[in-house]
Amino acid sequence: MHKLQFIAEFCQNHNGKADTLARMIDAAAKAGATHGKIQHIYAADIAYRPQFEEGLTVDGVVKSIKRPYRPEFERLSGLELSGKECRDFVRRCRDAGLIPMTTCFTRSAAKEIRDAGFEEVKVASYDCASFPLLRELKSLFKRIVVSTGATFDDELHHAVGLLRGHDFALLHCVTIYPTPLDALNMARLSLLRRLAPMVGFSDHSLVERDGMWPAKIAVHLGAQIVERHFTILGPAETRDGPVSVKPEQVAELLAFAALPDVEQRKHLDAGCPQWQSAIGSETRAMSDAELLNRDYYRGRFASRRQDSRDGRNMIFNWEETPLPS
């Protein structure tokens, strides 16, 4: 039996402050996490896409969400980590006994991430079908962990074909924020197990409502990895606070993962009688909410050309266009 890998996703819960990030690393390690993860996000890599400036609603039905470029640019500008801070993150994670990891959101960031010392990299759900990005990451990193939410089955199978022969893992994920229990569709883990050497669950459920039950259900159904937003701050202090867990909740999950299957089942039946509503089916159509999120988040970040200005004229991760040298 594999020890559960817990990826503590620090995301932007550090609020751009290196000292907060350092405290998060130490807290995650003490709680038993195996990985500490940040996100390589730069405001200058946000792509301007006019359809999201005002959004689009037709006959009361949302067709495109509203997420204008300039407020997102300004928000993310204050949350960036410098190159030195990223290198310090790698060093501090290793000193604490964590494997450092980051999400690569653009093709142009891949070599920078490698040069900062990362050996494992995460691919967000919306880039599971960004095949040029996957090929570049495969050539640069020892291990790739790919979330598969908002990905069509034919895209998933093609991505697996590209990664076959490399050390990779697939994470089940539902791209509804936060995800309700009955939309988790955990049966998807069975499909992923036939495709990848390791599988897991990236959890976006609401902590106040669901606690650690979604992650526990995933572990009971065979997840070997759980990725979860992690914080040491209050739920209102960061944007992702409501879907972020504290150190004691990480320890709670790891204790559950160490139980025999029969004891896990008893624990779920007693504490979350409705847990089987989270199973769902291996294959299903994406919901309207997932399709709307896919429409926005796929292409949210892109690589800059030399003449790119204000998010325009960018190279998207699924494009084969050579990057500027």
How much is the pTM? 0.96
Answer whether residue 238 is part of any domain.
yes
Answer whether residue 58 is part of any domain.
no
- Say if residues 244 and 24 touch (Cβ distance below 8 Å): no
Q: Where are the beta strands (DSSP E) in the chain?
A: 5-9, 35-40, 56-58, 61-64, 99-104, 120-123, 143-147, 167-172, 198-203, 225-229, 303-309, 312-315
Q: How many CA atoms does the CB half-sphere of 179 hold within 13 Å?
A: 28
288 phi and psi, to 5 degrees?
-60, -40
Query: How many structural domains comprise the chain?
Result: 1
Answer whether residue 307 is part of any domain.
no
Give the separation between CA 46 and CA 301, rounded to whole angstroms: 5
Residue-level length of the chain: 325
What single letter denotes the amino acid at residue 279?
Answer: I
- Whether the per-residue pLDDT at 1 is higher than 80: the answer is no
Answer whether residue 107 is part of any domain.
yes
Q: Exposure pattern of 222-237 as b/e (b: 16+ CB <10 Å)?
A: ebbbbbbbbbbbeeee
Strands 56-58, 5-9: parallel, antiparallel or unpaired by DSSP?
Answer: unpaired
Answer whether residue 317 is part of any domain.
no
Give the separation between CA 270 and CA 293, rounded to whole angstroms: 35
Residue range 31-62, pLDDT digits in tens: 999 999 999 999 999 999 999 999 999 999 99
**pLDDT for residue 213:** 98
- The range of the structural domain enclosing residue 261 comes to 5-41+79-284
Answer whether residue 301 is part of any domain.
no
- Whether the per-residue pLDDT at 215 is higher than 90: the answer is yes
Q: What is the mean pLDDT of residues 80-96?
A: 97
**pLDDT for residue 232:** 96
Answer whether residue 163 is part of any domain.
yes
Is-cis flag, bond preceding 247, omega within 30? no
Residue range 135-190, pLDDT digits in tens: 999 999 999 999 999 999 999 999 999 999 999 999 999 999 999 999 999 999 99
Answer whether residue 148 is part of any domain.
yes
- Token readout for 37 is 């993860």
> What confidence tier does 2 reach under pLDDT thresholds 50, 70, 90?
low
| CATH number of the domain where residue 87 is located | 3.20.20.70
How far is it between the farthest Cα atoms of the chain? Answer: 60
